[in-house]
Amino acid sequence: MTGKRAKPPATVDASRRAGPSVALEWDSADALRVEQSGDYGRIEAGAGNAQVADGLLKQIAVLGSQGQRIDPVASSFALGFVDSMAPRDAAETLLLAQMAAIHQATMMLVRRLNHARSLPQQDAAERALNKLARTYAAQMDTLKRYRSKGQQVVRVERVNIESGGQAVVGNVRHGGRADGPE
């Protein structure tokens, strides 16, 4: 894999915005230099302030990948995931960054499991992979519940009302008494 992408088909809109990405390099003082490119608007808006956005970028920059202290491809992938999910606030932004990291670790363990040479290696990779996959599923559920603000939809398929009975159809809200205390 060279990392270079083929020219997009003519049907793809060439004016699409450039997603966020990073170039990473250690300098002579062993400090990490991070060069940003692309549109960080969604991440910055979701983060809510510059400190959260900068902190998130630093955490993602040192995410790395198997055998590498830093990996601009892995970091750009995580940023792209957070961006594509269009976070609405800081909580979503941070959760999405965790989800990107868990996904990358999951994929690394899939590769490790596929190349295991012994039963103990296979067992260890399988256990860790199972935990990560369950964590990602729980994160997806958390994101879904958070975005729905805890609202649940109940659909009633059939209602029987006997003669003299009453039914309410529509949105029912619980609240205080309308006529006040007696």
Q: Would 15 be classed as within a structural domain? A: no
Which DSSP string corresponds to 23-80?
Answer: EEEE-TTS-EEEEEES--HHHHHHH-SHHHHHHHHHHHHT--BTTBS--HHHHHHHHH
Domain that holds residue 128: 21-147
pLDDT tens, N- to C-terminus, the chain (182 residues): 556 665 555 555 545 889 999 999 999 999 999 999 999 999 999 999 999 999 999 999 999 888 888 999 999 999 999 999 999 999 999 999 999 999 999 999 999 999 999 999 999 999 999 999 999 999 999 999 999 986 777 777 787 888 888 777 777 676 666 665 55
Count of domains forming the chain? 1
Which 3 state secondary structure label does DSSP give 22? Answer: strand
CA distances 147 to 49, 151, 163, Å, are: 20, 9, 42
Q: Would 47 be classed as within a structural domain? A: yes
Which 3 state secondary structure label does DSSP give 123? Answer: helix
Q: Would 58 be classed as within a structural domain? A: yes
Which residue type does 144 have? K
Q: Would 69 be classed as within a structural domain? A: yes
Q: Would 12 be classed as within a structural domain? A: no
In this prediction the pTM is 0.74
